Amino acid sequence: MDNQTIIDAVLLAVSSVTGWFARELWTAVKELKADLAKLREDMPRTYVLREDYRQDIRELKDMMNKMFDKLDNKSDK
Do residue 42 and residue 65 come from a single domain? no
Please determine, for residue 1, whether its predicted confidence score (pLDDT) is greater than 80. Answer: no
pLDDT of residue 73: 81
The per-residue pLDDT for range 3-54, each reduced to its tens digit, is 999 999 999 999 999 999 999 999 999 999 999 999 998 888 888 888 889 9
Please give the residue range of the domain that contains residue 76. 48-77
Q: Which DSSP helix (H) or strand (E) runs through 64?
A: helix 50-76
Do residue 20 and residue 5 come from a single domain? yes
Domain count for the chain: 2
pLDDT of residue 6: 93
Q: How far is 48 from 45, CA to CA, in rounded Å?
A: 8
